[in-house]
């Protein structure tokens, strides 16, 4: 669900003449830029309006003799960097090669003018010896709980937390779990590009692969992986054969053959971020059908406010960061079983949504990625000031 933002509101930043922020952000990510448009892309496309942004993906392995780093300009001031490594390298050689590529990148640059922004603690293996102006850890998920998580990730996260100047979390439950691990940690839950998703309220023309699907349509978009409750979808499709279930997104880390098959289940594959409102405009209900287990304990689904901004009623399993605040404010139905899901959907299909939509819009009015960026920048600036003050104190006592 890739995209380029066509426009963003101006982010409130310090006066450039007094600015202490570095000019560059270097992001270490476990996610590929073109995979799914989510938190890193939302934040970094906005930061690219005021910084040079370098987004470093995980490496790809090829039949080559020498490692190299490719660089792709995606929009003004935003580059995606991809390490290309020879096939057959063991782990230690992979780390050594990535460290050398990073040294080559910084050979003509001033590290004091860079902020390091981490999404994955694993990147610390090849970047720990570099000393940027500030080190930021944006902990968007509990990666150690995900399927195929590296066994060393917990220790590397401890190391990253000890080095970080400031830590952000992708939700309140994750903040509560980690707040004792760092003295400067702040929750920034999933936000929204409200204007983009509100387009779904006025779209009239259905996409070609959507137009022949009858109503009511019950939809989901996102990654379909080990967190997705495939049994729940299968049971719902069987219980309500006249409902059409539309599932949008890539299937990863699970066998596609394990997904439920039925005439009323439609797998439409990945769609771009720009296309999503077109599909949402034709849905009657949106789902957040995640399993309740270790891998979903701390997630904060970005799709929750996106569905709501599109004007679509939502039924979700009891994900902590969906229950609070959306369930507690009666903006989203919370259900545990297929029967409870079916009952909630039955109610919403005949409900008058006018009062609910007003309440949703009032709730979302202060929820935006632009505001999140502004608040993050303020915290980063404060952290930089504290770091400089500590350095001055240290120098004065020598």
Condensed to tens digits (0 to 9), the pLDDT of residues 77-87 reads 999 999 999 99
Question: Percent of the chain beyond pLDDT 90?
Answer: 88
Cα separation, 319 vs 324, in Å, equals: 9
Condensed to tens digits (0 to 9), the pLDDT of residues 67-122 reads 999 999 999 999 999 999 999 999 999 999 999 999 999 999 999 999 999 999 99
Q: Which domains does the chain have, with CATH numbers?
A: 22-191+368-397 (3.40.50.2000), 194-364 (3.40.50.2000)
Mean pLDDT of 326-355: 97
* CA angle (227 as vertex; 194, 146 as ends), nearest 5: 105
Instruction: Evaluate if residue 8 carries a pLDDT over 50.
Output: no
Condensed to tens digits (0 to 9), the pLDDT of residues 162-174 reads 999 999 999 999 9
- Output the pLDDT for position 3: 41
Question: Percent of the chain beyond pLDDT 70?
Answer: 93
Mean pLDDT of 224-230: 95
Instruction: Evaluate if residue 14 carries a pLDDT over 50.
Output: no
- Output the pLDDT for position 251: 97
- Output the pLDDT for position 20: 82
How many residues belong to the chain?
A: 398
Record the tokens describing residue 386, joined without a space: 């504290």
What value does the mean pLDDT of the chain take? 92
Residue 165's SS3 state is coil
Mean pLDDT of 180-206: 94
Three-class SS string for 20-86? CCCCEEEEECCCCCCCCCCHHHHHHHHHCCCCEEEEECCCEEECCCCCEEEEEEEECCEEEEEEEEE
Mean pLDDT of 346-362: 97
Band the pLDDT of 393: cuts 50, 70, 90: low
Residue 139's SS3 state is strand
| Other Cβ atoms closer than 10 A to 358 | 10
Band the pLDDT of 5: cuts 50, 70, 90: very low
């Amino acid at each position: 669900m890739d995209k380029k933002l066509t426009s963003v509101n101006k982010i409130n930043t310090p006066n450039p003449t007094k600015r202490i922020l570095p000019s560059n952000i270097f992001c270490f990510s476990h996610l590929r830029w073109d995979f799914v448009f989510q938190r890193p892309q939302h934040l970094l496309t906005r930061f690219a309006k005021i910084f040079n942004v370098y987004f470093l993906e995980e490496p790809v392995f090829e039949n080559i003799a020498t490692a190299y780093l490719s660089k792709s300009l995606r929009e003004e001031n935003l580059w995606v960097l991809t390490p290309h490594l020879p096939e057959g390298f063991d782990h230690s050689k992979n780390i050594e090669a990535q460290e050398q590529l990073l040294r080559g990148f910084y050979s003509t640059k001033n590290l004091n003018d860079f902020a390091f922004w981490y999404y994955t603690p694993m990147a610390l293996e090849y970047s720990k010896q570099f000393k940027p102006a500030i080190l930021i850890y944006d902990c968007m998920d509990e990666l150690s709980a995900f399927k195929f998580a590296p066994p060393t990730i917990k220790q590397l996260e401890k190391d990253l937390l000890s080095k970080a100047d400031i830590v952000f979390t992708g939700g309140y439950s994750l903040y509560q779990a980690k707040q004792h691990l760092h003295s400067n940690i702040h929750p920034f839950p999933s936000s929204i590009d409200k204007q983009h998703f509100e387009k779904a309220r006025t779209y009239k023309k259905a996409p070609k692969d959507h137009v022949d699907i009858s109503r009511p349509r019950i939809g989901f978009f996102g990654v379909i992986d080990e967190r997705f409750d495939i049994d729940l979808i299968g049971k719902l499709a069987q219980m309500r054969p006249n409902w059409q279930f539309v599932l949008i997104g890539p299937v990863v880390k699970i066998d596609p053959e394990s997904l439920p098959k039925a005439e009323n289940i439609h797998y439409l594959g990945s769609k771009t971020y720009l296309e999503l409102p077109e599909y949402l405009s034709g849905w009657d209900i949106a789902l957040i059908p995640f399993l309740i287990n270790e891998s979903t304990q701390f997630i904060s689904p970005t799709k929750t406010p996106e569905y709501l901004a599109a004007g679509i009623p939502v039924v979700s399993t009891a994900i902590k960061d969906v229950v609070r605040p959306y369930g507690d404010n009666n903006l989203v139905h919370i259900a545990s079983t297929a029967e409870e899901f079916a009952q909630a959907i039955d109610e919403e299909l005949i409900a008058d949504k006018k009062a609910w939509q007003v309440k949703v819009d009032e709730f979302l009015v202060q929820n935006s990625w632009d505001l999140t960026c502004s608040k993050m920048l303020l915290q980063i600036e404060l952290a930089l000031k504290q770091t400089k003050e500590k350095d001055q104190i240290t120098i004065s006592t020598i």
